[in-house]
Structure 1
Amino acid sequence: MPRGPTSSNPSLPPFRERAPWLGGDLQTLRNIIIGGPPELFGGERLLLAMPDGDLLAARLDRPATDAGAPLIVLTHGLAGSESSRHGVATARYLVSQGWPVLRLNLRGSAPSRATSGGRYHAGKTEDLVAALRGLPTELMSRGVVLIGNSLGGNLVLKFVGEGGHGLPVLAAVAVSTPIDLAASCARLMAPRNFVYHRYMLDEMKREALAPSAALTAAERAAIAGARNLYEFDDRFVAPHFGYRGAQDYYESNAAKNFLAGARLPTLILHALDDPWVPAGSYTAIDWSNLPMIEAALTQGGGHMGFHGVGSLTPWHDRATAQWLTQKGLGPHGMFETK
């Protein structure tokens, strides 16, 4: 039977896992096992200035024909970049459907590391604000749709909950988002996730310890010595950004604490079998009390997986395109209502 979304929008396409990618782990690992799609041909490099002089690198891909669609700004997850497999897949699909897509590399992630000494964190929305304000006027002329994958989704939802900062953001989508940062940290450190945790911690250290990173010797030692994700956040991320510790950092930036402030259409897509994000983070929320947010929760799909029957395009990308079209934010119809 199809695993349909639990959503206030029942018109979203149903999700059913595609064999052999059955279960949350295989859904999560599929792109690593067989590889992701090839990168788009061409693309434009933009460098977006931060107030302190750092520059964020972004990649812009445009459809072959200008179809009047708003700009998609896509933010990646923890230790990710514009080259993340699921980000490339999202960009390829949405560009093919007529949207221009800008993939933003957060501060300190590749390839932004070459032009920025600073670092991102889960709720550093001031960087997202500065990046959007730094975009050329012609790119912003039809408005912007934000899409956040994984940790990037937390950033996007916090931005939305803060009121949008006076920017022409029309809608937002968050996929496989750790909306409760403390709970997701604990989940990733659980024994069943040992391999995931070791991989992510190694990637985070590699990213943070890049030679060009603006760090003190003590910070480099704290990063290198962190034995787990919590220690990385508690001994480096939290003090680096002025938080009292990991718990203060998590509570101050968790998207769950900002959802009630949403004032623009927002779609949340999440699989309840995500091995990295506990289902309770989502089932504990009364979504009916959040009128601007539609939460489509599937039983299967893993973390940034959603490899479903009927299409090689991940379900979350197809659902996003359909939802945006319904909201009148699709190519040739951004002001239509369907």
Structure 2
Amino acid sequence: MSSEAFKPKRFVQGKHLQTVYNTFFPPKNYLRSKYYFEDILLQLGDGSGDSLWLEHNPPISQYSSGPSWNGIYIVMIHGMEGTSDSSYLVSLAQNALLRGYGCIRMNLRNCGRGQGFSKGTYNIGQANDVQDVIDFVWKKLSHRIFLSGFSLSASLVLKYLGERRNHKVEAFSSTNPPLDLFKGCEFIDSKEGKFYRDRFVSGFRKKIKNKIIQLPPELEKNAFQTKTFYEFDDRVTAPFFGYKDAKEYYMDCSCVRYIPDIRHSGIIIHSEDDPVAPPFDWEKIEWNRLPHIRTILSPKGGHVGFLTDPTPEIPDGRWLNKIILDYFDLKVDSGN
């Protein structure tokens, strides 16, 4: 890939600018106007009564002149407090459609248009939710599936693929995954991470206050008393999902434990200057034992940023799209 080495966009050099740029200058979203779309409310199989809101864009060739369908659907999942309309999912989906893919953008529980269709919330280890979506796509749309996760869901994708289950996935991408949740939480609670921590916790509290997320009274009270991310996970997230405490939750869900067991082809992209989820323990992973996984650790890029100056190869300046889709294109004909 000639464009593999990432070069930051002029005047968007810093890690924080790379991280927040798309919040202020998002790509135009044509996925519900220019392209055919379908909303899908998928009831989960865990007996909770919760449902996930999926946004389906079928291959262009199924309804118009355009690139022939390559037979593959990409299931895309957003990060913490993101939605199916997060800029990185929108831009990836629009580029993927133009390359002949079908796309499913998944909202985690009570996110995006799925707010109010679940009683509870999501966590970084909810691999069964991913399985339910994959099973749906396999049954209804295609037997050839690629999986793409970002930030929190990048870690979720790695955990999911490292578990023993019938994945039904051929290839994956994982962008800026938190690897070790203990170290990640310690960082987000530090002075460096406080800005992002406050944003995430505020989003959860707003949903709790508006009764979108329904918690037992004691946990609801705890949610507004905690001062750190660790306390929030220890007194709210962990007990809500049946863990003894935050330590047990982090131990079970840290994807760094599952990466050695991944047998699928994939690409993992991270940045050394990530101001939200630094790549702690990256160097401790024995990547040489995982030749089926391509890795890119860029010196710069921020957190799911990777904005570069437009070129003929990357006209929209969104480097991630090209890197991920070039990798997926290589896997289309290989059949994994």
The normalised TM-score by structure 1 is: 0.89
Post-superposition Cα deviations, 1:249-283, rounded to whole Å, max 9, x if no partner, equal 11110110000111110210111111112233323
Contact persistence 1:73–1:144 (CA under 8 A): yes
Q: Distance in 2 between matches of 1:220 and 1:76?
A: 25
Q: Distance in 2 between matches of 1:208 and 1:76?
A: 20
Post-superposition Cα deviations, 1:295-318, rounded to whole Å, max 9, x if no partner, equal 111111000000023332421211
Contact persistence 2:184–2:280 (CA under 8 A): no
Gaps spanning 5+ residues in structure 1: where?
A: 1-9
Shift of 1:39: 4.2
Post-superposition Cα deviations, 1:187-212, rounded to whole Å, max 9, x if no partner, equal 12221232222222211222344424
Q: Distance in 2 between matches of 1:292 and 1:259?
A: 12
Q: Distance in 2 between matches of 1:58 and 1:265?
A: 25
Residue 288 of structure 1 corresponds to: 288
Secondary structure at the counterpart of residue 45 of structure 1: strand
Aligned residue pairs: how many?
321
Q: 1:23 aligns with which of 1, 14, 17?
A: 14
Secondary structure at the counterpart of residue 256 of structure 1: helix
Q: Distance in 1 between matches of 2:42 and 2:8?
A: 39
Residue 43 of structure 1 corresponds to: 37
Matched, 1:175 2:175: yes
User: Within 5 A, what are the aligned runs for 1:57-206?
Assistant: 57-65=53-61, 66-135=68-137, 137-141=139-143, 143-163=144-164, 165-206=165-206
Shift of 1:11: 6.2
Residue identity opposite 2:330 in structure 1: Q
Q: Distance in 2 between matches of 1:336 and 1:240?
A: 40
Contact persistence 1:180–1:256 (CA under 8 A): yes
Residue identity opposite 2:218 in structure 1: A
Structure scoring higher RCO (CA < 8 A, sep ≥ 6) equals 1
Residue identity opposite 2:153 in structure 1: G
Residue identity opposite 1:289 in structure 2: R
Alpha-carbon RMSD:
1.9
Aligned-pair identity in percent equals 27
Q: Distance in 1 between matches of 2:209 and 2:2?
A: 46
Residue identity opposite 2:168 in structure 1: P
Shift of 1:137: 2.6
The normalised TM-score by structure 2 is: 0.89
Shift of 1:75: 0.8
Q: 2:319 aligns with which of 298, 309, 315?
A: 315
Residue identity opposite 1:101 in structure 2: C
Deviates more, 1:47-56 or 1:316-325: 47-56
Shift of 1:148: 0.4
Contact persistence 1:183–1:277 (CA under 8 A): no
